[in-house]
Structure formats: C-alpha cells, structure tokens
C-alpha cells in the first residue's frame, strides 16, 4: 500500500514539474517575440524549446509560398544525432500530400502515432514519412491573419508512440504565437516599404481609416498642416483645419470613396494652419484588407498652388485681351467667296483638334476636317443665292477620325459696298445629344419633364430625320404645329373633340390608346411624342389618364417602339409627378447619378433656372453681382457647370446668356424632391 502511494506521489510530482516547465516554456516563447529584432533566431529558439520539452526528434515550420501551390521548410530544430531535412524540403508542391493538406485546410491537427499504419488515403504521405525515417508526428495548422499559411509540428524518428495532451497544447499555443509574430513581421516590412516611398515623395501622401483619421502622413502632408506628426496622427480634417467648410468637404469625399469603392479625383482649396492658401490636385483610392473589405484610403495630393495662381492670372489677362470670337462657346467658322477658311475659333479647335494654323487660308475641299466637303461647298453657293434652311447640320471630322455634329446658324458677311464677301457659321456641338439619341432603347417610354416643349420637339424631329416614323399627338394650334414640325412625313393628331386645320383628332383616352396601338403595329421604327397632356387630365382625371398610360406603355414595349411624354411639371402635384416618373424612363441625357456639385454651383444653377423661367437673359455680370464673386471665379464655376452638361452658354452679339439644360433641370428636380 505504501509503495503504491509512493508511486502516485512521484507521478504527481512529475506531472506538476512538467506543467511548470510547460508554463515556463510558453512564457519564454511569448516574451521572446516582444520587440524582437531577429525573428528567424526567435523561431529557431522556439522550435528548440518545444522540441526538447516534448522529447521530439525534430521540430519544424513550413510556410506556403505566394503562388499558393508550393511550400518551404523555413525553420528547423533537430535533436542531437538527428539528420536535418530543411535543405531537402524547399519549393515542395502541395499536391504531393493531398490527405495532409485536406486536414490542414479543415483546420484539423495531424496526429500520427505509427507512420507505418497510415490508411490508404494517406499513402502518399506514408511514403514521404518512411523516406525520412519518421515513426510518429504531430502537426498543427499555422494561420497568419486568419488565413492558413503553413504548419508547425514535430516528429520522432526513434520510436512510435502517442503524443501527450500537453504536447498538443504546447504546439497549439506555439502555432498561435508564431502566426501572430509572422503577421506583425509582414505588416512591419510592408509598412517600412510604404514609409520609405511616402517620406521620399514630393507630394502629400497619407493613409486614412474609415473614420477619416490620419494613420500615416508624410512630411509634405505635415508641412501643409504646419503641425508635427503627433498632432496629426489619429486626427481628422475637422480637428486639424481652421476652415471647417473645407474640412467637412474633405471628409465627405472620404466617405464617398468608402461608399462607392471608387477613386475620387478633385482639385482642392485648403487654408493652412498659418493662414496660407493652397491648391491641391488630389486623388483618393480605397484600400482593402486580405478579405477584400475596405479598411481606409490612401491619398496623394500635389501642390499646384503656383500653377493655379498662374492660371488665374492668365485667365484675368485673357479676359481683358481676347476678342468676342475666341471667347464664344459656339464653334465659329467663316469662308470667303473662294470657300477658303478665314475664321476658326478656339471652340472649333477644341471640337476638332485642328488648330487655326492648320485650316485658315485653305480651301474647304482640301481639308479633311469637313465631312462631305463638296456638298458643303454647293450648299454655301445656295446660301449666296438667298436660299434658306440649306444646312441643318455641319459635320466636322476630328483629328482622331471621329465625327462632331454642329447645329449651325449662318449669315452672309457683307463688305463695305454691301456685297457678300463670305459666309459665317456658328453653332454648338450637339454630338453628345445625338449620342444620347442612340442610347435610346426601343420598347421604352420616356418622360421629358419641362415647362417648355422645345427640347421634346427637337428630339422627336431629330429621330424622324434618322429614319423613324413619327406620330405627333398635341393640343397645339395648327399654325403652331406647322412651325414646329416642318416634315410632311410626320403623322399629326390633335387632342380635340373635332378636327381642325386638316388634322385628325383624338377625343378621349380610349381613342388615344387605339391610335398608338395601330401606329406602332404598322411601323417597325415608330416614335411617338405625346404633348399637352393637360387636356387629357382636365377633361378626364389624372387616375384615368394614368391607367391609360399603363396600357400605352405596354403597347410601346410589345411593339418595340418609343414614346416620349412631355409633361409640364407645374400642372401636376408632386405625388402625381412621382407616379408618372415611376412608370416612365428618364432620357439618357437626363441621367444624373454620377453628378455631384458643391452648394455654390447648385445655387448658381438654381438662380439661372429661375431667371430662365421668367424669360430673363442671364449674363456673367448678373452672376457676379448676385453671388458677390469676381469674374474669373464666375467663369470657372460656369465652366464646371457646362462641362457637366448642366448649362448651355449661348452668344448674342457681344454678350453671352446662360440657360439650364435638360440635365440641369433634372438635377434641380432631384435635389428638390430628395
């Protein structure tokens, strides 16, 4: 009895001693990787500790290569008298151990007490282990950043046998510690590479987290803020910048990058901590973690302050010097009596890519910029003869070989004796509008929400000129119809109880539906413009009209036709307008999903629209007076609106007037109803 008790006590002492050694080893391993300078030596020492404590012959670490198909034995410890294998285990294909890899990918440990008794599923692994004289082994997966990146294990080349629970615990903890240490090492190496590039750059480069806080800021960024690094890191622009409006806009741009997952390019104005004014050309790009989640952004900002100041000075000088032709937004081209080009303004240069020096003084028939130049030459002769309506479109060929369509007005240039000495053409580039027409889809019904029906009629006429069969349904007077619709090929139906002016009439909603059904069935390329629906809503009801619209939309879709419904938004309330908008498509040219403008630009756009509504011409000077901004700033902001297709700038003699485009009206309506 006493001898048995003594054995139990000795076993308990041995267990306690091993437990203390285990805890001591784990503590040593953990502290070893704190502030380590040579992680490779620390890994070797760790493998030695766990190998000696577990009584293993060999302890090792394998890491997967970046190609995802091979792996290397990167670190190894061997007991005295055991042959190293590390040099033989480089660039090993993962395919040679399918059973092994399957277990690791399932986050399972590999526990082998007798390699000779491995199952048939592990035949490949059995052969590998026997070649290395391995009797038993214990292997655990190693994760770096929650992803399987290798494995750690130890084996015995002396004898078979089971591995104790403490051995498994020791290996699992060691795997976790090594995985964390390797993750930190990779992150530190990547960060060092970034820091070197960032600090040596002349541009401001910074990293922000999802809260728009600066995580990394290079010297140029700190210089711009006029602050030391410790006062910038972990702060956002609102905390750093004196101009809170600029700071808010910066943060909004950050959040837009995070929301859309798209880079954001912009020209930024910034007031430094010392009150100094800066201009930056900046780009912000989303940054992702290993799982594809956005974790922040990297920004690069180039100081263009000197360039911006020079540009503004140039603009001021040009405004004083440039003449009316070169300041026109329309293309202006003139020909003499011999059809040689005499004027080619800046807009014509911009549209075509050809400079004035390339074309001025040369006959139009010798220039590649004019499409069908001989037809144009003949048309000019007819203009000299007094003919009207000779040219509907002036087609120019760019240097890149693409066509640009100009909607021209023209007049004779008279000399001192009132004799015609040339022809002047001026007009705006409507290529984008024509391309919008091509983006129209057969089978769709479109809403044109506008107080004026001119844009709707122009679109309808353009499509009939492209070969579509047109049906114009309107309430307009016969005289007005004739002025709006020059073509006799367009079928016209009056919204009226009786016929007028020789036109057929549509008296009610049922007849409207029938007419459209018959027309779309008869013509494969049918386009319908439904105008002045106030007549239908007044004589019936909005609900009845909407019910008919549902039927008409279905008919148009089934017959692959196109319908344009012109609606004056002032005749319906917001709920009714929303119901029509839900049923019909917006025009491609009115889609505004990607347009975002600052409040200053929006207010200018709104002011122009209000003046247009009262048929008041809006000039650059009015904008300057209304918003108390200098003329160069007016030009810059109007140019931004024009480039976004929100306004049209038209020339009237020596002055220009501003008009909100369909796209601009759509944007105003969207902002109003949000």
pLDDT tens-digit map of 334-365: 999 999 999 898 888 888 999 999 999 999 99
The proportion of the chain whose per-residue pLDDT surpasses 70, expressed as a percent, equals 90
**Residue 531 forms part of a structural domain:** yes
In which region does residue 56 sit, left (phi positive, over 0), alpha (psi from -120 to 50) or beta (all else)? beta
Residues 6+ apart with CB under 8 A from 203: 220, 300, 301, 302, 303
| pLDDT at residue 319 greater than cutoff 70 | no
Distances (CA, A) of 191 to 41, 84, 179, 655: 22, 34, 18, 58
**Residue 174 forms part of a structural domain:** yes
413 and 508 belong to one structural domain: no
Q: What is the largest CA-CA distance in the chain?
A: 142
The model's confidence at residue 16, banded by pLDDT at 50, 70 and 90, is low
More confidently predicted of 189 and 504: 504
Choosing from 405, 429, 453, the residue where a domain stops is 429
Question: Can you say whether the dihedral through the CA atoms of 558, 562, 568, 574 is positive or negative?
Answer: positive
Distances (CA, A) of 450 to 245, 570, 584, 610, 643: 34, 9, 15, 13, 21
**Residue 2 forms part of a structural domain:** no
562 and 530 belong to one structural domain: yes
What dihedral angle (degrees, nearest 10) is formed by the CA atoms of 398, 403, 405, 408? 50
Q: Which domain holds residue 337?
A: 331-429
Residue in the structure block whose two tokens are 């609900």: 543
- What CATH number does the domain containing 80 carry? 3.30.450.40
256 and 399 belong to one structural domain: no
646 touches 667 (CB < 8 A)? yes
- What CATH number does the domain containing 362 carry? 3.30.450.20
**Residue 322 forms part of a structural domain:** no
230 and 355 belong to one structural domain: no
- What CATH number does the domain containing 648 carry? 1.10.10.10
pLDDT digits (tens, 9 = 90+) for 285-295: 999 987 888 99
Q: What is the mean pLDDT of residues 197-205?
A: 80
Distance from C-alpha of 110 to C-alpha of 168, rounded to nearest angstrom? 10
Number of domains in the chain: 5
pLDDT-wise least confident of 49-53, 405-409, 652-656: 652-656
Count CA atoms within 13 Å of residue 226 on its CB side: 11
More confidently predicted of 501 and 582: 582
- What CATH number does the domain containing 491 carry? 3.40.50.300
Q: What share of residues in the chain are helix, strand, coil (percent, to 5)?
A: 45, 25, 30
Q: What is the mean pLDDT of residues 219-239?
A: 89
**Residue 101 forms part of a structural domain:** yes
242 and 336 belong to one structural domain: no
402 and 538 belong to one structural domain: no
Helix intervals (H) in 152-301: 165-199, 219-225, 237-240, 244-260
31 and 164 belong to one structural domain: yes
365 and 452 belong to one structural domain: no
Q: What is the DSSP string of 399-451?
A: TTS-EEEEEEEEEEEE-TTS-EEEEEEEEEE-HHHHHHHHT--TT-EEEEE-S
pLDDT-wise least confident of 173-177, 406-410, 455-459, 485-489: 485-489
Choosing from 556, 590, 624, the residue where a domain stops is 590
**Residue 125 forms part of a structural domain:** yes
Quote the pLDDT of residue 593. 53
Quote the pLDDT of residue 2. 54
Mean pLDDT of the chain: 84
pLDDT digits (tens, 9 = 90+) for 57-96: 899 999 999 888 899 999 999 998 888 989 989 999 999 9
3-state secondary structure of 7: helix
**Residue 643 forms part of a structural domain:** yes
Q: What is the mean pLDDT of residues 596-602?
A: 79
Residues 6+ apart with CB under 8 A from 303: 203, 204, 220, 224, 278, 279, 280
150 and 30 belong to one structural domain: yes
Quote the pLDDT of residue 466. 75
3-state secondary structure of 127: helix
The proportion of the chain whose per-residue pLDDT surpasses 90, expressed as a percent, equals 23
**Residue 6 forms part of a structural domain:** no
What is residue 331's DSSP assignment?
E
Choosing from 189, 215, 248, the residue where a domain stops is 189
Q: What is the mean pLDDT of residues 364-377?
A: 90
651 and 616 belong to one structural domain: yes
545 and 455 belong to one structural domain: yes
pLDDT digits (tens, 9 = 90+) for 492-509: 999 988 888 788 899 999
Q: Angle 454-465/431-438 helices, nearest 10 degrees?
A: 70
351 and 291 belong to one structural domain: no
């Amino acid at each position: 009895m006493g001898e048995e008790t003594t054995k139990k006590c000795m076993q308990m002492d041995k267990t306690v001693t091993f437990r203390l050694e285990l805890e001591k080893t784990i503590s040593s391993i953990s502290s070893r990787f704190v502030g380590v300078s040579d992680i490779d030596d620390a890994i070797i020492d760790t493998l030695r500790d766990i190998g000696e404590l577990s009584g293993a012959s060999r302890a090792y670490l394998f890491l997967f290569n970046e190609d995802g198909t091979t792996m290397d034995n990167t670190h190894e410890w061997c007991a005295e008298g055991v042959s190293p294998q590390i040099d033989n285990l480089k660039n090993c294909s993962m395919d040679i151990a399918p059973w092994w890899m399957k277990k690791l990918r399932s986050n399972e440990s590999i526990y082998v007490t007798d390699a000779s008794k491995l199952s048939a599923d592990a035949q490949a692994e059995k052969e590998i282990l026997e070649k290395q004289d391995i009797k038993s082994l214990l292997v655990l997966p190693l994760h770096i950043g929650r992803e399987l990146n290798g494995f750690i294990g130890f084996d015995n080349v002396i004898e078979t046998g089971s591995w104790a629970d403490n051995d498994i615990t020791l290996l699992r903890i060691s795997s976790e510690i090594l995985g964390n240490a390797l993750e930190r090492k990779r992150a530190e190496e990547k960060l060092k590479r970034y820091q070197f590039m960032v600090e040596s750059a002349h541009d401001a480069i910074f990293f922000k987290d999802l809260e728009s806080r600066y995580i990394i800021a290079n010297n140029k960024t700190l210089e711009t803020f006029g602050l030391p690094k410790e006062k910038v890191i972990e702060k956002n622009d609102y905390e750093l910048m004196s101009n809170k409006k600029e700071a808010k806009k910066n943060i909004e741009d950050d959040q837009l990058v995070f929301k859309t997952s798209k880079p954001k390019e912009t020209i930024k104005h910034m007031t430094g901590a010392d009150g100094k004014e800066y201009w930056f050309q900046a780009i912000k790009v989303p940054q992702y973690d290993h799982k594809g989640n956005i974790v922040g952004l990297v920004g690069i900002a180039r100081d263009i302050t000197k360039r911006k100041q020079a540009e503004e000075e140039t603009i001021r000088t040009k405004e004083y010097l440039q003449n009316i032709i070169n300041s026109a937004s329309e293309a202006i081209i003139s020909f003499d009596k011999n059809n040689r080009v005499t004027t080619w303004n800046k807009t014509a240069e911009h549209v075509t890519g050809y400079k004035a020096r390339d074309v001025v003084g040369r006959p139009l028939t010798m220039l590649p910029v004019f499409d069908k130049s001989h037809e144009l030459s003949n048309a000019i002769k007819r203009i000299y003869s007094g003919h009207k309506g000779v040219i509907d479109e002036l087609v120019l060929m760019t240097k890149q070989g693409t066509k640009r369509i100009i909607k021209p007005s023209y007049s004779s240039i008279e000399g001192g004796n009132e004799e015609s000495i040339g022809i002047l053409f001026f007009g705006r580039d409507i290529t984008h509008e024509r391309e919008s027409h091509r983006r129209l889809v057969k089978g769709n019904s479109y809403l044109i929400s506008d107080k004026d029906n001119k844009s709707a009629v122009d679109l309808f006429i353009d499509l009939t000129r492209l070969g579509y069969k047109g049906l114009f349904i309107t309430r307009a007077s016969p005289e007005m119809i004739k002025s709006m619709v020059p073509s006799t090929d367009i079928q016209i139906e009056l919204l009226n109880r009786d016929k007028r002016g020789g036109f057929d009439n549509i008296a009610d909603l049922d007849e409207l539906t029938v007419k459209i059904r018959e027309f779309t069935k008869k013509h494969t390329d049918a386009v319908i413009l439904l105008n002045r629906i106030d007549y239908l809503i007044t004589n019936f009801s909005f609900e009845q009209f909407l019910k008919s619209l549902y039927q008409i939309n279905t008919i148009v879709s089934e017959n692959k036709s196109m319908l344009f419904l012109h609606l004056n938004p002032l005749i319906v309330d917001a709920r009714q307008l929303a119901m029509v908008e839900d049923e019909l498509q917006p025009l491609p040219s009115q889609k505004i999903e990607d347009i975002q403008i600052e409040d200053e630009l929006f207010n200018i756009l709104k002011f122009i629209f209000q003046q247009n509504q009262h048929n008041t011409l809006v000039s650059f000077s009015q904008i300057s007076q209304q918003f108390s901004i200098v003329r160069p700033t007016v030009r810059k902001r109007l140019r931004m609106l024009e480039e976004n297709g929100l306004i049209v700038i038209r020339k009237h003699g020596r002055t220009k007037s501003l008009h909100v485009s369909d796209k601009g009206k759509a944007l105003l309506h969207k902002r109003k109803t949000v």
